[in-house]
Chain A
Amino acid sequence: MAQIFSPAADTWLRVATVVLAGGVVGGTLFASGLARSTYETRQGWHVDQPVPFSHQHHVGDLGLDCRFCHAGVEKSWNAGFPATHTCMTCHSQIWTGAQILAPVRDSLAKDKPITWTRVSGLPDYVYFNHQIHVGRGVPCVECHGRIDKMPMTYRGEAFKMRFCLDCHRHPEGRLKPKDQVTRMDWSGWTAKDQASFGKKAMQAYHLNPSRMTDCSLCHR
């Protein structure tokens, strides 16, 4: 009766075991790395838009307030996108013939809305509310990054649950004066300022982090 296993069989078994184990470990590492990568979270990735709108120019250079366009941010869960009409408050006067603004003029003329592509979309099953965050002094920059330095808008932070929870567990480190909520550059604001203001804000708003991690706060 012939041998069932060739002399190399043992080697093959070892190679297969190593490759398989490597594959499992490597695959897991790759998958978890991918999930954390900016490719998956879209953090820092530009998105094509019908009009190459520059936040750098409008916010950074011209100093427009965020709320001029995102008017719902203090009143609703939804910050909202500006209606074409809002764009045209200025652009009916300036850059009236600019080629890049043609879709905006078209939109008004034809009464067809501009279809923007969302940059800061939240995962499913999350109900985020702008109104309460802005109302408690979480500055825009905390989640949206330095919008004033984005010629093309990209996602400033990875909207992972951990990102939300970090702040919900320690809001004192992020809260800023409510009247400066749209301020982008906080370079003059020291850690000491933050510590003293954060403490005051926590007391003023009766914030209790132990209640701020309830599932039902965001998931329903």
Chain B
Amino acid sequence: MRTRAEFETAFEALGDAARRDVLKVMGAALAMSGLSACEGEPDPRAIPYVTAPENLIPGKPRFYATAVTFGGYAQPVIGTTYDGRPTKLEGLPNHPMSGGTTDAFTQGQVLDLYDPARSQTVRRDGRPASWALFEAAMVDNARRLDARQGEGLRLLTGATSSPTFARELKALTDRWPMARWHVFEPVHEDGALEATRIAFGRPLSMRLQLDKAEAVVCLDADLLGPGPHQTARGQAWAKARLAFQQGSGRSHLLVIEPAPTQTGVMAQDRLAAGHARIGQLTQALAAACGLGHATVALSPRETDWIGKAAALLQAAPGKALVVAGPQQPPEVQALALQLSARLGAIGQTLILTEPVLLQPPDGPTSFAALTRDLLAGKVDTLAIFGCNPVYGCPADLAFAPALAKARTVVHAGLHLDETAAFAQWHAPLSHALESWGDARAVDGRPSLIQPLVRPLYDTRTIPVLLEALQGRPGAADRDLVMQTWRLAWGDGFDDRWKTTLPKGFVDEPLPAADAQAGALPAIAVPPDGGLEILFRPDASAWDGAFANNAWLQELPKPFSTLTWDNVVEISPALAKEKGVQNGDVVRVTSGQRAIEGPAWIMAGQDRGTVVVRLGYGRRLPGGLADQIGYDAYPLRLSSSPWRVTGDLARAGKRHKLAPVQPVTEAELADFVRTAPADQARTVKRAKTVSPSFYPDKPQAPPQWGMSIDLDLCIGCNACVIACQAENNVPSVGKGQVLQGRHMHWLRVDQYREGPDEAPDMAFQPTPCMHCEEAPCELGCPVNATSHSAEGLNQQVYNRCIGTRTCSSYCPYKVRRFNWFDYTGKDSPQVQAVRNPDVTVRSRGVMEKCSYCLQRINEARIKAELEGRPIRDGEIKTACQQACPTQAIVFGDVSHPDTAVSRRKIQARDYVTLEEADTRPRTSYLARLKSEGA
């Protein structure tokens, strides 16, 4: 049965074909396959510069410190460019927020730059126009607005923290005092700001200091999950966890959540509870810590959890932190904040600052106010810059029809999206990697955004458009940013600009704000209305902004490992009750509103909770994301953006879903081991090498190896995309994923064990193990895979004839075969993102993780020319470099004093499938028990 589940499509593809037919097709394939070897001559042209740019060395990449934005926050990065083509983003190493690491979305943004579906021309009423026409129209419009002090001018943007935007906005409102700015951000943090207002009297941003926290309680707060904060929080949490591993300090993480999250997986005690129930449990926890009273009847399990949490929190004064997620009601979050404050968190594990994101005049009701004014006919000119409200609009706001009431609607975006279809004017926006700008990171430090490449198309940035809106066409984005900082820095501007630009950011975090906790908020119990339907951003598409990114679409989502789709996530109990199986289309109703989407049974989910994921069901003609998945926004309410109540029923249809790992149930101990905490500090007993018929492999340094600490891995998938970007790994599409032909060199395996209601779950990144006794090498009939003197399992593409024997011999199943030419038909833009240091594979060859061979070779050449050995840490594999928690370490295992060797001598070091005795060079560190430490 399990084989059938795992290879479902293979069984389907075989169908009822007779043995003879199969043989005939095989014969034909064999006869034809020889032809595919014929290929054209390489391009003989050599085109040098006319005048070579200064300091440019042909063939050498150049690096620029810059930033991309995500949810309005800067994600500071170093951009790699080859011959002017941005190819890879890495975290900015000196930035305190990220420490040089990134998340999956940031890694994926370089592909967005080259998205062939990007908007490239100005459009008027849907037809191509020109910037000259647009700017002339704006000059006329500005004259009209001057006469009425800007009355009727409304500006709608996504969340932003850009100082230049703030300056431009101020200039605009100074000139036109009646103009108003609104914000539309589907996955917003308004609830968190409201919570600080309730608790401390004014809206503040919370900066969690997870590196200083020894006891953390998350109440529906996915601290380590996807989002703009993931890099910062993952990095800080890992610091605390590493200290714990070394025996200094404790590391307790307790979680209550309605649906499984990455934070829940890392928790020592995870309790599933409904969204509304969590409010009551927060009260109970506060009461247990001596704050307020609670009259909640608790189940024995809840009593146990709360007792444990309260004890751990109170045992760590000044090092405790209680966080309720931004999707909880503000009162619940406020209570959690006050509990934190009582436990001495303020200034220690929790720093409150003025809001990092700029706050629109109407605050959280900004978008609703705009819709209301539109309907009332108060809006003359509406400029929608860099957001997509027609797609993401909550069901109770009729935004798209209301747009007809505005005289002029101007839309600027990266795509000709749903909103563009309702606008008179559409202007193409520049991508962050081709523009000048600025934004603040989650810690408030401003990043300067500098272009890695000239705009690919004739596009503009938002500040330039703001100038155009005021009748001043032709502004340069660089001048506008410089103007902002000239005003901020005064006389020292020139020097400071020169030193800040290469550094990438201004090292001034927002100062801690003075905050005094007020009265305890009253927590209302929402009426019981059936199932709780929760809205959550998608781990690949987020709110829809990343939907058109093939790398992200093909990135297996945590827990379900699904690609190219969003699902309605339900609990196993509910599935049984309603007779629903994975892939059954279900109808989710709330009041008069309904959506339909495929169901997925999520072990560990609260019984009455249904999770719908935002970001899909886009209407984006010509784009990858067009019409895939279901749109969850029509179920959402502006008054209740994260939770509605309703019901769910089978719709009588099925939808084919493409999980990368169809079976996640396993005996956990076979793969992911758990060890007592002291095993991180004890040395392993000397390993006995099992006898072998084969001669010993040379062991002269350097010998490459990798260690992956499963105690730190949060399953964020940043490594998978980083590997994809670095190694030119193709995306193959849903159809091929369904056949098990996805190409990721590094996958994050998901395992769960135990009861469906409360399973034990774990992540395990699995690259090529680079076995010392590699079975694949024995299998290859043409020696296309062999062992290097440095212990690498090498794959030689030009020798490979595609028998796939190696893959069938590989116990870890990490080899990937090019069933088709996945890359040959890539558009010229997409070709530009490729790393020139890595071969682009074509049809019929096997490929796999190379331990980032190109980086090893580059470092070796550098070291040899400098006459020294390669330093420890000099080579970072792409996955290692991206990992926010530094779970992956790579280096020389033949030298005892390298980071990787220091890990491999720990008692908790182990290899998977040890019984196969392939002697993998990639080993794992067991997860640690937090209790009893």
Q: Chain A residues in contact with chain B, CB under 8 A?
A: 71-72, 75-78, 80-86, 107-108, 111-118, 121, 123-125, 127, 129, 131-132, 135-136, 205, 210-211, 214-217, 219-220
- A-B pairs, top 3 by smallest CB distance, nearest first, are A78-B59, A80-B58, A81-B48
Q: Are A72 and B57 in contact (CB under 8 A)?
A: yes
In the bound assembly, the distance between CA atoms of A214 and B702 in angstroms comes to 14
In the bound assembly, the distance between CA atoms of A136 and B798 in angstroms comes to 28
List, in ascending order, chain A residues with CB within 8 A of B865's CB. 131-132, 135
> Would A113 and B57 be within 8 Å (CB), given that A215-B786, A216-B794 are in contact?
no
List, in ascending order, chain A residues with CB within 8 A of B698's CB. 210
Q: Are B857 and A217 in contact (CB under 8 A)?
A: yes
The one of A84, A115, A131 in contact with B51, judged by C-beta atoms closer than 8 angstroms, is A84
Q: List 29 A-B contacts (CB under 8 A).
A: A72-B57, A80-B57, A80-B59, A82-B48, A83-B48, A84-B51, A85-B50, A114-B47, A114-B48, A115-B45, A115-B46, A115-B47, A116-B47, A121-B42, A132-B864, A132-B865, A214-B790, A214-B794, A215-B796, A216-B792, A216-B794, A216-B850, A216-B857, A219-B798, A220-B838, A220-B839, A220-B850, A220-B853, A220-B857
* Prevailing SS type, chain A contact patch: loop
Q: Are B45 and A211 in contact (CB under 8 A)?
A: no
List, in ascending order, chain A residues with CB within 8 A of B788's CB. 214-217
List, in ascending order, chain B residues with CB within 8 A of A107's CB. 50
Q: Are A219 and B797 in contact (CB under 8 A)?
A: yes
Residue of A nearest to B792 (CB): A216
Q: Are B42 and A124 in contact (CB under 8 A)?
A: yes
List, in ascending order, chain B residues with CB within 8 A of A78's CB. 58-60
* Prevailing SS type, chain B contact patch: loop
The one of B51, B58, B839, B864 in contact with A72, judged by C-beta atoms closer than 8 angstroms, is B58
In the bound assembly, the distance between CA atoms of A39 and B638 in angstroms comes to 73
- Does any Cβ of A come within 8 Å of B837's Cβ? yes
Q: Are A113 and B837 in contact (CB under 8 A)?
A: no
> Would A85 and B47 be within 8 Å (CB), given that A124-B42, A217-B857 are in contact?
no
In the bound assembly, the distance between CA atoms of A210 and B789 in angstroms comes to 8
Q: Are A81 and B60 in contact (CB under 8 A)?
A: no
Given contacts A78-B59, A81-B58, A131-B865, 8 further A-B pairs with CB under 8 A are A80-B48, A113-B49, A121-B44, A123-B42, A124-B798, A125-B796, A129-B857, A215-B796
Residue of B nearest to A85 (CB): B51
Q: Are A129 and B861 in contact (CB under 8 A)?
A: yes
The one of A116, A124, A129, A135 in contact with B48, judged by C-beta atoms closer than 8 angstroms, is A116
Q: Are B861 and A211 in contact (CB under 8 A)?
A: no
- Does any Cβ of A come within 8 Å of B854's Cβ? yes
In the bound assembly, the distance between CA atoms of A172 and B853 in angstroms comes to 26
Residue of B nearest to A117 (CB): B44
Q: A96 CB to closest chain B CB, in angstroms? A: 18
Q: Are A219 and B796 in contact (CB under 8 A)?
A: yes
Q: A71 CB to closest chain B CB, in angstroms? A: 8
Residue of B nearest to A218 (CB): B857
Which of B44, B797, B850 has most chain A Cβ within 10 Å? Answer: B44
Q: Are B861 and A75 in contact (CB under 8 A)?
A: no
The one of B48, B60, B790, B854 in contact with A211, judged by C-beta atoms closer than 8 angstroms, is B790
Interface residues on B, range: 35 or more
Q: Chain B residues in contact with chain A, CB under 8 A?
A: 42, 44-52, 57-60, 698, 700, 786, 788-790, 792, 794, 796-798, 837-839, 850, 853-854, 856-857, 861, 864-865
Q: B159 CB to closest chain A CB, in angstroms? A: 42
In the bound assembly, the distance between CA atoms of A127 and B839 in angstroms comes to 9
Q: Are B857 and A127 in contact (CB under 8 A)?
A: yes
Which of A108, A111, A219, A220 has most chain B Cβ within 10 Å? Answer: A220
Q: B381 CB to closest chain A CB, in angstroms? A: 41
Q: Are B60 and A108 in contact (CB under 8 A)?
A: no
Residue of B nearest to A204 (CB): B867
List, in ascending order, chain A residues with CB within 8 A of B794's CB. 214-216, 219
Residue of B nearest to A49 (CB): B46
List, in ascending order, chain B residues with CB within 8 A of A123's CB. 42, 798
> Would A125 and B58 be within 8 Å (CB), given that A118-B45, A132-B865 are in contact?
no
In the bound assembly, the distance between CA atoms of A127 and B797 in angstroms comes to 13
The one of B47, B700, B797 in contact with A113, judged by C-beta atoms closer than 8 angstroms, is B47
Q: A21 CB to closest chain B CB, in angstroms? A: 23
The one of A76, A121, A127, A216 in contact with B60, judged by C-beta atoms closer than 8 angstroms, is A76
Q: B682 CB to closest chain A CB, in angstroms? A: 36
List, in ascending order, chain B residues with CB within 8 A of A219's CB. 794, 796-798, 839
Q: Are B50 and A111 in contact (CB under 8 A)?
A: yes
In the bound assembly, the distance between CA atoms of A127 and B59 in angstroms comes to 12
List, in ascending order, chain A residues with CB within 8 A of B50's CB. 83-85, 107-108, 111-113
In the bound assembly, the distance between CA atoms of A135 and B856 in angstroms comes to 18
Q: B206 CB to closest chain A CB, in angstroms? A: 45
Q: A32 CB to closest chain B CB, in angstroms? A: 17
List, in ascending order, chain B residues with CB within 8 A of A211's CB. 700, 789-790
Q: Are A220 and B837 in contact (CB under 8 A)?
A: yes
Residue of B nearest to A120 (CB): B46
In the bound assembly, the distance between CA atoms of A117 and B42 in angstroms comes to 12
In the bound assembly, the distance between CA atoms of A12 and B865 in angstroms comes to 68
Q: Are A216 and B48 in contact (CB under 8 A)?
A: no
List, in ascending order, chain A residues with CB within 8 A of B58's CB. 72, 76, 78, 80-81
Residue of B nearest to A125 (CB): B798
In the bound assembly, the distance between CA atoms of A220 and B860 in angstroms comes to 15
List, in ascending order, chain B residues with CB within 8 A of A129's CB. 857, 861
In the bound assembly, the distance between CA atoms of A132 and B863 in angstroms comes to 10
Q: Are B51 and A118 in contact (CB under 8 A)?
A: no
In the bound assembly, the distance between CA atoms of A59 and B109 in angstroms comes to 48
Residue of B nearest to A82 (CB): B48
Residue of A nearest to B39 (CB): A124
Q: Are A205 and B864 in contact (CB under 8 A)?
A: yes
Q: A112 CB to closest chain B CB, in angstroms? A: 7
Residue of A nearest to B83 (CB): A78
In the bound assembly, the distance between CA atoms of A83 and B861 in angstroms comes to 26
List, in ascending order, chain B residues with CB within 8 A of A131's CB. 861, 865
Residue of A nearest to B866 (CB): A135
List, in ascending order, chain A residues with CB within 8 A of B854's CB. 127, 220
